[in-house]
Amino acid sequence: MSARICILGGGFGGLYTALSLSQLPWEKPQKPEIVLIDRHDRFLFTPLLYELVTGELQTWEIAPPFSEILNNTGVRFCQGVVSGINVDESWVQLQDSSELSYDRLVLALGGETPLDMVPGASEYAIPFRSMADAYRLEERLRILEASTADKIRVAIVGGGYCGVELACKLADRLKQRGRLRLIEMSDMILRTSPNFNREAAQKALDKRGVWIDLDTTLNSIGPDTISLLYKGQVDTIPVDLVLWTVGTKVTNVVSTLPLKHNQSGSLMVTPTLQVVDRPEIFALGDVAECHDAEGKLVPKTAQVAFQQSDFAAWNIWASLTNRPLLPFRYQHLGEILSLGTDNATFSGLGIKLDGPVAYMARRLAYLYRLPNPNHQLKVGLNWIAQPILDLLADK
């Protein structure tokens, strides 16, 4: 009987592990059953989610169905919500009460946005992590844009990557009607970014008139106000829309497992991406605290999950075919940020780019990373054809 590999989560870590596993040289008697489980029916290419805000891209381009991606790969897709995992008896339970046993388990369930850090956040703030979040934001924006209000006041909590990219996209969409403010509790935006990217982002935000509140803590969120604490003084200001981009928490299904966790609930894994003391379980992406082959702690980014997927697939294959496992080696390929329509910044590999050139480089880099050649071709042709169609429509 062949082994079964269960992969929980169809994000960068889970989907790309499944695709890599399907391409490895299994001998026919050894070829395992590969099952990918996700609550959604579509994969989401999260770095391009911002382009939905401005209408630069459409849903089908950044969120292809799993059935389309996995066609002819031999990977079985199962849409469902994981409700429990029994690590002693090696099975996964789904919310519909069905159970799946496994010989190898991959935990790649991603993180969740914590909305319990500030009173009122869960009721009035919109996170920006999923298609549902993007649709909710779009619905709110349409209502505000259709109103008679002179200004649309938007507060974005968090001056990291997501907050900065969202601020620029929203400013470009709302134009003169937008009154945007970016709220950051530390003394700078993009604290972990290279100086070149931070300076390009600052310039893009300034050009768009985005107000930046540094060293500022959010005290509470109301239905149409926010309270900010700055230098010991609380200021309550009116607002029409609050976006929350701060923090990531591990899902309860993972944080409650009887395995080794760090203080934030992430699973402790070895450099081979195996959970400590559980070599049959692999974990990657947001759910894992991972030190690479050099002993360096790796960040929890899409770029890391993308690279970890190749190592996870290889090591699962190696563990089932009695071959040596490889420690994860992270190669930092640089950092790329979208800073509005037709504008981006890139720093890495000895290269520094900003403006439209960086925007095109970002598009091409992400096109290359889309999940399969058919989808890459469809999206690439659309990107080439769209400017021509727009030009013809203007005439």
pLDDT at 97 over 90: no
> Is there a single domain that holds both residue 273 and residue 339?
no
> Is there a single domain that holds both residue 221 and residue 367?
no
Over residues 333-356, the pLDDT tens digits come to 999 999 999 999 999 989 999 999
> Is there a single domain that holds both residue 174 and residue 200?
yes
In a domain, 173, yes or no: yes
- Name the DSSP class of 45: -
Cα–Cα distance between 121 and 157 in angstroms, integer?
10
Question: Of the candidates 228, 244, 260, which is a domain's last residue?
Answer: 244
In a domain, 181, yes or no: yes
> Is there a single domain that holds both residue 237 and residue 315?
no
Residues 324/339, Cβ–Cβ less than 8 Å: no
Instruction: Count the neighbouring beta carbons within 10 Å of the beta carbon of residue 28.
Output: 6
> Is there a single domain that holds both residue 125 and residue 232?
yes
> Is there a single domain that holds both residue 288 and residue 203?
no
Over residues 250-305, the pLDDT tens digits come to 999 999 999 999 998 999 999 999 999 999 999 999 999 999 999 999 999 999 99
In a domain, 178, yes or no: yes
Provide the number of structural domains found in the chain. 3
Per the document, the length of the chain is 395
In this prediction the pTM is: 0.93
Residues 178/155, Cβ–Cβ less than 8 Å: no
In a domain, 47, yes or no: no
pLDDT at 393 over 90: no
> Is there a single domain that holds both residue 128 and residue 233?
yes
CA atoms within 13 A on the CB side of 366: 24
In a domain, 330, yes or no: no
> Is there a single domain that holds both residue 260 and residue 226?
no
In a domain, 71, yes or no: no
Residues 201/189, Cβ–Cβ less than 8 Å: yes
Amino acid 345: pLDDT: 97
CA–chain centroid gap for 347, Å, is 20
- E strand or H helix at 358, and its extent? helix 356-369
Kindly give, in sequence order, each residue whose CB lies less than 8 Å from that of residue 140, ignoring residues fewer than 6 positions away.
Answer: 126, 241
Over residues 204-232, the pLDDT tens digits come to 999 999 999 999 999 999 999 999 999 99
Question: Of the candidates 295, 320, 345, which is a domain's last residue?
Answer: 320
46 confidence band (pLDDT: 50, 70, 90): very high
Q: Token pair for residue 190?
A: 């993009």
Amino acid 316: pLDDT: 98
Q: Token pair for residue 69?
A: 């991606």
Question: Of the candidates 272, 292, 320, which is a domain's last residue?
Answer: 320
In a domain, 160, yes or no: yes
> Is there a single domain that holds both residue 240 and residue 252?
no
> Is there a single domain that holds both residue 238 and residue 254?
no
Cα–Cα distance between 209 and 162 in angstroms, integer?
18
Average pLDDT over residues 233-243: 97
- Cα–Cα distance list, 200 to 108, 180, 214, 392 (Å): 33, 18, 17, 33
In a domain, 56, yes or no: no
Residue 356: which domain range? 335-394
Looking at every residue in the chain, the average pLDDT score rounds to: 95
> Is there a single domain that holds both residue 316 and residue 344?
no
Amino acid 385: pLDDT: 85
Place of tokens 């992406």: 285
